[in-house]
Chains A and B, each alone.
Chain A
Amino acid sequence: MPGAIYAEGLVKTFGEVRALDGVDLDVPEGTVLGMLGPNGAGKTTAVRVLTTLLRPDRGTARVAGIDVLAHPDAVRRSIGLSGQFAAVDEYLTGRENLVMVGQLYQMSGRDAKRRAAELLERFNLADAADRTAKTYSGGMRRRLDLAAALVVSPPVMFMDEPTTGLDPRNRQALWDVIQELVAGGTTLLLTTQYLEEADRLAHDICVVDHGKVIARGTADQLKARTGGERVEVVVHAPEHLTVADEVLRTFAKGEGTVEPHTRKLTIPVAGGAKLLAEVIRELDTRGVEIDDIGLRRPTLDDVFISLTGHTAETADENDTDGNGSGAAGTGGETSRTAGVK
């Protein structure tokens, strides 16, 4: 049985650019798919197709079991969308925004008001409920935007870069909210440029680049693909490098590296923590004094670089101010490109 979000062979071109070049997706009900990729990789386009905002040139998609192309209106009743921009009306109060969205989800005025009050409470916005959204901080706007996506507690949610431009504290707070949501059984497709975010929130990850899914699996599976664990040793004195190298060779599962200037040696290993203890004992026996030693697992960053040949994060990574100027500056520019492409 296909999952709550299912797509096959999605293709979308804008002029010369193939924003989606045959994307397949299958997200089982109640799980989170992290769609990871750099700006312009096609993430936003994929979300726009799945949320009925854009018609693909080719391919099929089903969301909550409903054909996206044949019954867009029925799909819209079953989804919540939280975008890259905090898409709330800044001249309306938090409460007015949520009531309006509720009414447009075809709730009665009374139900919409009740639901708005519930959500404002739940997202710690009750105190600011009757202030215009213009006065909100970046984090508050994101929470309001997310609340707007949850007005009908839809079974399927889409979040397009929910924490782009947020400071670390607000990002953490939003992650907590998202985890609560998923614990409640919501199926979620989340796009992100932050590898840490995908690692933290997603059950499955698909890596997208140039409109294609270039890898998929759990975070652990993807990391394993990049070549497993390594032991890194920093010796105290340069003259110990040779002996340390000799010792490490006996444990290595492949070619190691030596960086004389940092006095660092790295070898690929298999065997985990137990092996690390043996390495330490052996180095100690041979009289090698060490400053640092550790077992390193590959990060998703390593995965990304090995898959695409470039890093995921781009210039707007530095943009952490989280509100107005971010959207108007580089953040706005890049997300705009993603939209058009």
Chain B
Amino acid sequence: MTAVSEAAGSETHLRSPRPRGGLGRSVRDSLVVAKRNLIRMLRIPEVVIFGLIQPIMFVVLFTYVFGGSINIPGAPSGDARAYREFLMAGIFAQTVTFATAGAGAGIADDMHKGLIDRFRSLPMSRGAVLTGRTLADLVQTALTLVVLAVVALLIGWRSHENIAKVLGGFALLLLLGYAFSWIGALIGLSVRTPEAATSGGLIWLFPLTFISNAFVPVNGMPAFLQHIAEWNPFSATVAGARQLFGNTIGGVPRSVTGAWPMEHPVLASVLWSVLIIAVFRTLAVRKYRSATA
């Protein structure tokens, strides 16, 4: 500790520089936090790898286990290729929603370890810790989608639209993932342990993603479920992505109940995602301001 004495006496007290304008500070602080989270991902690659295994498993299981038994309206009965095309947008969409659990667990862990207290005692933008986290999750989700798309191509999935539309489809999926990571942020701030955030971030995703048009056509469901499925924000994104990928065999997507989102899936998907971001970002930032570990 001898080094301390030289520095301590001579040092003048300087306060941190005055903050720059609100928006500039928010953006910069968010990027600083996003960088921190991306470094963490590189140092704990297990998380990213396990995040990849699950969707790949789903692709293989659904394609080969259910594929032969599910009939897609408008396609020849038992046409495995038709189901593969139908399925992929659903798997992609389900994969992006898992960002919820990642964001939730990460933020709960930061609370638990006292890092949120550290951040809250700094003169930084109030939303930056959460925005930085959700941005880092967006990068991870994008990487996962790239790997998953390659696997999908390998087992025979094809898009039938131009590259701009295909990219648009992936953008739609990423927007949904980003929106869901804000739900995860709120969950992470609301629970006591990182474990609770992981399970709390995941369980509700199963009914949400299964009561939808993602894995089976809704026309096989009871009427009341059909209504739920077609108004499900998740279904709008699946249908929108299917449309932009050109995976619409026999005219699918097509609404069974006449729900508006199914008639305009791309627009509906964007609207749903923006609405989710607006609501959950507001709630999460408010929660962050008063968060107590």
Contacts and interface: CB of A to CB of B under 8 A. Distances in A.
Interface of A: 48, 51-55, 73-74, 76-79, 81, 83-92, 96, 100-101, 103-107, 118, 121-124, 132, 148, 152-155, 173, 176-177, 180-181, 183-186, 336, 339-340
B121 A53 contact: yes
Interface in B1-49: 1, 3-5, 7-9, 11-20, 25, 28-29, 32-33, 35-36, 39-40, 43-44
A153 B14 contact: yes
A81 B117 contact: yes
| Residue from B8, B32, B36, B44 whose CB has the most chain A CB atoms within 10 Å | B8
Contacts of A107: 16-17
Given A101-B122, A180-B8, A73 B19 contact: yes
Contacts, number: 131
Which 8 residue pairs of A and B lie closest in terms of their CB atoms, listed nearest first? A87-B114, A85-B114, A105-B16, A180-B8, A76-B123, A87-B118, A104-B124, A81-B121
Contacts of A55: 290
Contacts of A86: 114
Nearest to B121: A81
Nearest to B125: A104
Interface size class for chain B?
35 or more
Contacts of B117: 48, 53, 81, 83, 87
A91 B17 contact: no
21 contacts: A48-B117, A53-B120, A73-B123, A76-B122, A83-B114, A88-B115, A89-B36, A100-B33, A101-B122, A103-B29, A106-B123, A121-B7, A122-B3, A123-B4, A152-B15, A173-B1, A180-B1, A181-B8, A184-B9, A339-B292, A339-B293
A85 B40 CA distance: 20
Contacts of B118: 81, 83, 87-88, 101, 148
Interface of B: 1, 3-5, 7-9, 11-20, 25, 28-29, 32-33, 35-36, 39-40, 43-44, 113-115, 117-124, 128, 290, 292-293
Contact of B115 (A87, A154, A183): A87
A149 to B, nearest CB: 9
A103 B39 CA distance: 16
Given A106-B123, A339-B292, A89 B40 contact: yes
Contacts of B113: 85, 87, 90
A177 B6 CA distance: 12
Contacts of A100: 32-33, 35-36
A177 B1 CA distance: 7
B9 A106 contact: no
A153 B13 contact: yes
A124 B15 contact: no
Nearest to A152: B16
A11 B123 CA distance: 25
B107 to A, nearest CB: 13
A52 B290 CA distance: 10
Contacts of A51: 121
A104 B114 contact: no
Contacts of A181: 8
A96 B43 CA distance: 13
B183 to A, nearest CB: 24
B292 A180 contact: no
B1 A124 contact: yes
B15 A154 contact: yes
A194 to B, nearest CB: 19
B36 A92 contact: yes
Contacts of B40: 89, 91-92
Given A106-B123, A177-B4, A340-B292, A91 B39 contact: yes
A124 B39 CA distance: 24
B32 A78 contact: no
A153 B44 contact: no
B8 A184 contact: yes
Contacts of B28: 103
